[in-house]
Amino acid sequence: MNIILVGLNHRTAPVEVRERFALSEEEISKTLFQLTQNPLIQEALILSTCNRVEVYAVVGDTEKGYHLLCDLFLNRAEPSLKETLASALYSYASSDGVKHLFRVASSLDSMVIGEPQILGQVKDAFDFAMLHKSTGLILNKTFKKAISVAKRIRTETKIAENAVSISFVAVQLAKKIFGKLHQKSVMLVGAGEMAELAARHFLGNGVSSILVTNRSYERALELASEYNGIPVRFEDFVAEMSRSDIVLCSTGAPHYLIGPEEVAKVIAARQNRPIFFIDISVPRNIDPAINKMDNVFLYDIDDLKLSVEANIRLREVEAIKAEEIITQETEQLVRWYKSLDAIPMIVSLKEKAETIREAEITRTLDKLASLTPAEREAVEALTHSIVNKLLHGPLTMLKEEAHSTNGNMMMESVRKLFLLDEVKTPPPKNLPTAGEEKK
């Protein structure tokens, strides 16, 4: 048995390729069924997000498994895309596959290191596969461990603590100036994507109200209604600015919309209470001269980018610690994988020894008909004891060495020494079938 994966992501494929492979739940369900009906595939799981599509499987034949999963992608592609897609696909097996999954779940392979969404997406993919009974002992153990590793990394490192988006950095800076953002009011000048992200972050950090203004009043209405805010007509926003503790400006205007004259009136109306301006427009929409005024704080896009870049560097340092954790956890799980290979051999060895013991004890006891029941029992116990002591060394060695670098060679030697190919042993009864896991 071997765990393999084939996939594509934001590093290997442009969005126009990735979007063609974004799978709906119905498509994932159908594909999982098709995979698990194939005798090559013992278990399967599909992780599909906006930045990646990866198919995980447990197979008996790694090479044939790779071809099957690659064909799964290629068969969905238009002829003109097949060559581009083939170069975009990546594949991993065994410890490399485990390490890749751990890095994905821990957001080390994400577009933004430390982002929290991917862990939830990994959980959802695992739950969906469990619901469709397409996973078994191997993938259940692997994905539970991946989720555990991701949580450990978030606990033991600071990989998610430093903001790495412009909008979130703006919120973090506002918190440094005001402390808590509860009871604070925000005005968004402009209603584009950046303003929307900022609105989400500000609300998540407890601001009491949001005012939204835009040259298109309809767009201001739309964004304000989405975040339970107050729309403001563009020609009135300067007059309404005094109601806001934080003003975030993000428009396409080619000139300053807010200057010292407007801010002086705002400060007077606020009775010198501090106000924080964030200008993420290019070109700038707020005159930098206002930064010289009392109780006025201004950060522009370059100030925010410096914070973002510093925080990215901090995350990269934490990522080194995370990689060390992943290496440790991967080694542990791979040892567990390899120990599974020893189980059928251990069962075979025990069964062969017991078959020989039973045959010999039967032949011997037939010749010793005069033995009392107690004496017969003593002979039986003696043979059991001899077999157990003879097997103790080989069985212990198999359990301990199965996961070592020489594990495969060791098991092959045991197979040949004890002629285990002559014994056809069914899988151990205590191993779960697909969709179950050993408890």
- DSSP secondary structure string for all residues of 97-138: HHHHHHHHHTTTTSSSTT-SHHHHHHHHHHHHHHHTT---HH
**Average pLDDT for consecutive 10-residue bins of the chain (439 residues)?**
91 84 91 95 93 93 94 87 89 94 93 81 96 96 96 89 70 86 94 86 91 95 94 95 94 92 95 93 91 94 79 84 94 82 78 90 88 91 92 81 65 78 44 37
Same domain, 357 and 305: no
- Single out the residue of 78, 79, 27, 81 nearest to residue 53, CA to CA: 27
Torsion from C-alpha of 307, 52, 32, 75, nearest 10 degrees:
170
d(CA 244, CA 183): 11
Q: Which segments of 19-164 does DSSP mark as H helices, in order?
A: 25-37, 62-74, 82-88, 94-105, 117-131, 137-156
- Asked whether residue 100 falls in the same domain as residue 174, the answer is no
On whether residue 330 sits in a domain, the answer given is no
The CATH number for 215's domain is 3.40.50.720
Among 15, 22, 50, 378, which one carries the catalytic annotation? 50
Residue 253 lies in a domain: yes
Q: Based on the domain organization, do 131 and 193 belong to the same domain?
A: no
Q: Which pLDDT score, from 0 to 100, does residue 308 have?
A: 72
For residue 96, give Cα distances in angstroms to 25, 85, 281, 431: 28, 22, 44, 25
pLDDT of residue 436: 41
Question: Does residue 133 form part of some domain?
Answer: yes
CB 214 within 8 A of CB 191: yes
Q: What tokens were used for 414?
A: 């045991």
Q: Are 279 and 175 members of one domain?
A: yes
Asked which of 124, 143, 161 is the last residue of a domain, the reply is 161
Does one domain contain both 6 and 143?
A: yes
pLDDT of residue 437: 40
Interior CA angle at 56 toward 54 and 57, to 5°? 150
Domain presence at residue 395: yes
Q: Indicate if 7 and 85 belong to the same structural domain.
A: yes
End-to-end CA separation in angstroms for the chain: 20
pLDDT of residue 59: 93
Tell whether 195 and 260 lie within a shared domain.
Answer: yes
pTM over 0.75: no
Co-location of 222 and 157 in the same domain: no
- What's the pLDDT at 341? 67
Domain range for 391: 336-399+408-422
Q: Judge whether 89 and 82 are in contact, CB under 8 Å.
A: no
Residue 319 maps to a domain: no
Does 381 share its domain with 343? yes
Judge whether 239 and 220 are in contact, CB under 8 Å: no
Residues 206 and 97 in one domain: no
* In-domain check, residue 113: yes
User: Domain total for the chain?
Assistant: 3
Asked about 249 being catalytic, the answer comes back as no
The predicted pLDDT at position 438 comes to 37
Cβ proximity of 194 and 166 under 8 Å:
yes
Task: CATH number of the domain at 117, please.
Answer: 3.30.460.30
The pLDDT value given to residue 233:
96
Place of tokens 């975030």: 248
- Domain-embedded: residue 8: yes
Asked if the peptide bond before residue 231 counts as cis, ω within 30 degrees of 0, the response is: no
Instruction: Give residues with Cβ within 8 angstroms of 79, minimum separation 6.
Output: none
- 255 and 351 co-located in one domain: no
* pLDDT score of 145: 97
Q: Which single residue is written with the structure tokens 């039973």? A: 358
Is 208 within the bounds of a domain? yes
User: In this structure, are 25 and 154 located in the same domain?
Assistant: yes
